[in-house]
Amino acid sequence: MAANETLLQAFEWHSTSHSPSMNKGYSTESHYTYLRRVLPSLARIGVTGIWLPPGCKANNSQGNGYDCYDLWDLGEYDQKGGRATKWGVKEELSKVMQTAEGEGIQCIWDTVLNHKAGGDATEETWAVEVDEEDRRIEICSPKKIEAWLRFDFPGRERDGVSNEKFLWRAEHFNGTDWDHRAQKRAIYKIIDDPFTLSNPSLRPDIWNDFMWMKNSGTKARTERRAGKGWAEDVDDQHGNADYLMFSNIDYSQSSVQDHVKHWGEWMVNDVGVDGFRLDAAQHFSYSFTRDWISVVQQASWKKRNRELFIVGEIWTDEPRCILDWLNSVGQNAYAYDSPLLYNFSRISEDIRKGSKSVDLRTILHDSLLELRPQSAVTFVTNHDTQPGQTSYAPIDSQLKSFFYAFILLRREGRPCVFWGDLYGTNGPYAEPPACTVRTANGGERNLLPDLIMVRKYLAYGEQKDYFDSTHCIGFTRSGVEGESKTGCAIIISVANKDTSTGDYRATKRMRIGKPGEVWVDILCEKEYRTETIIDAKGYGLFSCGGMGIGVFSRRAEADQFSLNLNLDS
């Protein structure tokens, strides 16, 4: 049986990084250098893939990369304040990928294909303002605006090298958020010159047919304007989700499609990535995404005879939106299970508020893990949901260990661990590593590395769920006969005390192992490990603290855990 795979998001929003100066190819304090240093430790505990930050040149030297300026500049050209990206220079990236390959770790590239930022000059174009809540509704007559839609990439020419000569102009975009001439911020849909259209009903002087008169109380018509406009094959958030931010790329243009496909092939063939995380996947053409995935997969099969890992980011609590994307793009793509994350946050908040609605049996409700587990990338936190971010999802730090045990040790789904939960976060809402517990000598210990190791060594075989109590659930993994992957039993409790016994311990009777075997809680310190003996019928009575988790294995396998690995070297 193949080893379990575990993905690590290898950055957080406020990751510190001091990149090399202009003529240097290395810095001891860049994020790429630090990441390269910890890769061997990550491999030892069971990390098999890293989600790299968006390392294309951003709009400024400290931009995280979601404000993407130049797809082809991975820290190579003197543009936007320097040669390096926030994360480092291309030479350092290459060393990260070489080290990762040597450790058996795949590199997944965070890919921003929805928009571009930081144009080099303005261009004049026809546009209409649209309603922020329903992007199908035009709220002004067609007019000419001056927008930063010209991308010349002068740094490439100064350095005398360039991977790609394609230059972006106004015709390559269908939306933007700033009219430089009017000094006005709004959502502008870029359109064709209305005087060139054959349909007379679209003359500029009768634009009211497509307008919501906000003060009239009338409903808007949402007929699609002929010619250039939003992509239709996107999510229906805000009526049409094509526009998200910055300068929105128009994938109806064949030249744009060819250019971005060529970039994807370059990333596979020359840079050597093992997969792509598609940022804002619900906001750009699903049909183009399907074609793009096909192109990069063909490149991977031709070069390495294996499939790339592709995962889309779709922020929603409605699983139908994720399923629509998966059905549209096909080709074994994955999606992040945001509904599962929202379930975690809901349960955490119910516990914090002392709500009587706490019910662990609903943990999978309407999640991708429940509806299409083979396509789910599960996670507890990421850079968008950490404190202070736009999609902040509050989850108690102690409870994170419960939810990580849930996603890491189950059979279905591909779990993704957050850098900030393993190493802590920086910034105005800085937090220490999550999943820490007090030790007997008064110190602290992070359970997350051990949970990843349990996934690596023990969490195999058939799964049996015991979701029979609102405040305490459990499940078992039977292991693989004849292999060292011997299985485990997991109990999760969010009750201060077991209401059936009055004891501040939770118990769950589960079937696992063989009669007479001793199973111990490997998350406990060795001297204090809880034990259970499997009875004649093959059942053990597994226990944990009333507000706690227990992960049990055969006693013989337990000693490889609680190693307190130094993950900083």
Return d(Cα 325, Cα 312) in angstroms, integer.
8
Q: What is the pLDDT of residue 502?
A: 56
Q: What is the pLDDT of residue 527?
A: 79
Q: Given the residues 70, 73, 76, 279, select the one marked as catalytic.
A: 279
Q: Determine contact, residues 150/122, Cβ cutoff 8 Å.
A: yes
All structural domains of the chain: 116-250 (2.40.30.140), 462-558 (2.60.40.1180)
Please name which of 39, 33, 32 lies closest in space to residue 104, comparing C-alpha atoms: 39
Does residue 123 have an active-site annotation? Answer: no
Q: What is the pLDDT of residue 2?
A: 84
Task: Give Cα separations from 424 to 16, 225, 336, 442 (angstroms).
Answer: 12, 49, 22, 20
Q: What is the pLDDT of residue 218?
A: 45
Return d(Cα 99, Cα 93) in angstroms, integer.
10
Summarised one tens digit per residue, pLDDT across range 65-77 is 999 999 999 999 9
For the whole model, what pTM was predicted? 0.93
Return d(Cα 120, Cα 108) in angstroms, integer.
29
Q: What is the pLDDT of residue 225?
A: 84
CA distance from start to end of the chain: 30
Report the length, in residues, of the chain: 569
**β-strands 106-111, 275-278: how paired?**
parallel
Show Cβ contacts of residue 19 under 8 Å, excluding neighbours closer than 6 positions: 27, 30, 61, 75, 82, 84, 85, 86, 87, 88, 89
Q: What is the pLDDT along the chain (569 residues), one digit of tens a residue?
A: 689 999 999 999 999 998 777 677 778 889 999 999 999 999 999 999 999 999 999 999 899 999 999 999 999 999 999 999 999 999 999 999 999 999 999 999 999 999 999 999 999 999 999 999 999 999 999 999 999 999 999 988 766 565 668 999 999 999 999 999 999 999 999 999 998 865 544 444 434 334 444 444 444 555 678 889 999 999 999 999 999 999 999 999 999 999 999 999 999 999 999 999 999 999 999 999 999 999 999 999 999 999 999 999 999 999 999 999 999 999 999 999 999 999 999 999 999 999 999 999 999 999 999 999 999 999 999 999 999 998 999 999 999 999 999 999 999 999 999 999 999 999 999 999 999 988 878 888 899 999 999 999 999 999 999 999 999 999 999 999 877 788 999 999 998 755 555 567 899 999 999 999 999 999 988 878 899 999 999 999 999 988 999 999 999 888 766 555 567 65
Q: Determine contact, residues 103/43, Cβ cutoff 8 Å.
A: yes
Return d(Cα 398, Cα 540) in angstroms, integer.
26
Q: What is the pLDDT of residue 486?
A: 86
Tokens of 356: 């009587």
The helix or strand, by DSSP H or E, that contains position 44, with its residue range, turns out to be helix 31-45
Tokens of 360: 């662990």
Summarised one tens digit per residue, pLDDT across range 80-109 is 999 999 999 999 999 999 999 999 999 999
Task: Give Cα separations from 43 to 33, 453, 456, 553 (angstroms).
Answer: 16, 10, 10, 22
Does residue 129 have an active-site annotation? Answer: no
Q: Given the residues 73, 177, 235, 313, select the one marked as catalytic.
A: 313
